């Protein structure tokens, strides 16, 4: 029997049409003689004769055609095409750099234009759509990115020395490593502390209804305060404590720095953490609890051996949400001297240097995606009958 014809995949076709239009019309790269002078923009059709750009547009349109009859063979073929396009992008950029950059201008740099960024973003969305339609596991979905990552690693190692983003990194490699460590330390401390505090708070909420009402009310209120406003509210009391309590001053507690950043991140992390832990523990089936008690288990044993293991996947979802949120919010902490990758973002904005902004923003996005993928996969694996 033949495959049943399905309705067109409008998501897939729309994404690929948008990617094709962006690729052929927007600026793909810019070339500047140095860091100060604005770069000259070029579309993909204006470099290397334009024919590589047209050749890359053909498979994009082919995917649009295949999306009108989204059978499994067509979707699999589309997946291969998208993976090939993602792997070819860094090679196209390398060839473009070799053509546009004058070897006699060692300070010249190539900036990535909106067409490349938008094309990369849309192709990754297409990849997610195809993985979902084909029913692939989360782990296999990450393996689909290997050709693209290899392509970028090869290009950055061998051919893309004039890339502006890479030059910003080389000029600040030591500072970059320190910023990553500070960023991860703040996130890890805030998420770890919020997990401990939230667990204790949930245990009190399950015993006392009043604690539950007041607790959720306070946490909801904290979530409505803008991050910069919260930093401002913490500045005066922490400066006062740091000036009057010697051991706090020895730890570096003051109105700016790590202390207000940590407390703000802790406050923002508590609501999603508390909510998920509370729901996870409350939604364990009563029949399972009764069965455990019928087997002679004490209350402590029921909690540790039955309720908590069954609630763990949902608890991990709370940890995942909190971690991703904290990774993004930590960037703002650079404004109060807490360090982290946000330092590059605000320095770049102050100098109108978008490549420095990207040097801080792209690792934050990468860290959030990695945390989301790892914690999501672990949560999925721990679910009864979950995928490996």
**Is the separation of the CB atoms in 276 and 267 below 8 Å?**
no
The rounded percent of the chain whose pLDDT value lies above 70 is 97
Give yes or no for a contact between 304 and 229, defined as CB atoms under 8 angstroms apart.
no
> Rounded to two decimals, what is the model's pTM?
0.84
- In order, the DSSP letters of 81-127 are HHHHHHHHHHHHHHHHHHHHS-TT-TT-EEEE-HHHHHHHHHHHHHH
- CA dist 321 and 274 (Å) reads 12
Quick: pLDDT tens for 368-386: 988 988 888 888 787 765 5
As a whole-number percent, the residues of the chain with pLDDT over 90 amount to 26
- pLDDT tens across 205-220, in order? 888 888 888 888 888 8
What is the 3-state secondary structure of 328-367? Answer: HHHHHHHHHCCCCCHHHHHHHHHHCCHHHHHHHHHHHHHH
Indicate whether 221 pLDDT > 60: yes
Taking the C-alpha atoms of residue 185 and residue 183, their distance in angstroms, rounded to an integer, is 5
pLDDT at site 384: 66
Q: Which of 15-29, 89-103, 129-143 has the highest mean pLDDT?
A: 15-29
In order of their start, the domains of the chain are: 10-163 (1.20.140), 173-382 (1.10.3720.10)
pLDDT greater at residue 254 or residue 322: 322
**What pLDDT does 2 receive?**
46
pLDDT tens digits, 165-198:
888 888 888 899 999 999 999 999 999 999 999 9
Q: What is the pLDDT of residue 180?
A: 93
Two structure tokens written together for 3: 């495959």
What is the average pLDDT across 53-64? 89
DSSP state of 26: S
């Amino acid at each position: 029997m033949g495959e049943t014809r399905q309705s067109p995949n409008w998501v897939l076709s729309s994404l690929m049409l948008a990617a094709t239009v962006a690729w052929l019309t927007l600026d793909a790269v810019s070339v500047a003689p140095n860091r100060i002078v604005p770069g000259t923009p070029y579309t993909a059709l204006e470099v290397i004769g334009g024919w590589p750009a047209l050749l890359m547009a053909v498979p994009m349109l082919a995917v649009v055609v295949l999306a009108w009859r989204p059978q499994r063979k067509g979707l699999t073929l589309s997946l291969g095409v998208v993976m090939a396009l993602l792997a070819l992008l860094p090679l196209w950029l390398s060839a473009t750099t070799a053509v546009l950059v004058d070897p006699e201008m060692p300070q010249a740099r190539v900036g990535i234009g909106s067409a490349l960024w938008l094309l990369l973003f849309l192709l990754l969305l297409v990849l997610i759509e195809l993985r979902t339609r084909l029913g692939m596991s989360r782990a296999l979905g990450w393996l689909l990115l290997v050709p693209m990552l290899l392509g970028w690693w090869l290009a950055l190692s061998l051919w893309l020395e004039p890339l502006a983003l890479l030059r910003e990194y080389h000029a600040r490699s030591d500072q970059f490593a320190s910023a990553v460590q500070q960023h991860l330390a703040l996130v890890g401390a805030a998420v770890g502390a919020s997990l401990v505090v939230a667990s204790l708070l949930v245990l009190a909420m399950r015993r006392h209804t009043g604690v539950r009402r007041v607790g959720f009310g306070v946490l909801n209120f904290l979530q409505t305060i803008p991050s910069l406003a919260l930093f401002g509210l913490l500045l005066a009391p922490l400066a006062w404590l740091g000036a009057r309590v010697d051991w706090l001053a020895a730890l570096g507690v003051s109105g700016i720095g790590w202390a207000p950043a940590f407390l703000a991140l802790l406050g923002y992390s508590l609501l999603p953490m508390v909510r998920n832990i509370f729901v996870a523990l409350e939604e364990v089936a009563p029949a399972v609890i009764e069965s455990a008690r019928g087997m002679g288990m004490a209350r402590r044993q029921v909690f540790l051996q039955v309720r908590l293991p069954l609630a763990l996947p949902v608890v991990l979802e709370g940890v995942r949400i909190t971690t991703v949120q904290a990774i993004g919010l930590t960037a703002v902490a650079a404004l109060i001297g807490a360090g982290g990758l946000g330092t590059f973002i605000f320095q770049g904005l102050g100098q109108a240097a978008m490549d420095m902004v990207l040097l801080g923003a792209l690792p934050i996005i990468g860290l959030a995606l990695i945390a989301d993928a790892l914690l999501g996969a672990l949560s999925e694996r721990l679910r009864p009958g979950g995928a490996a």
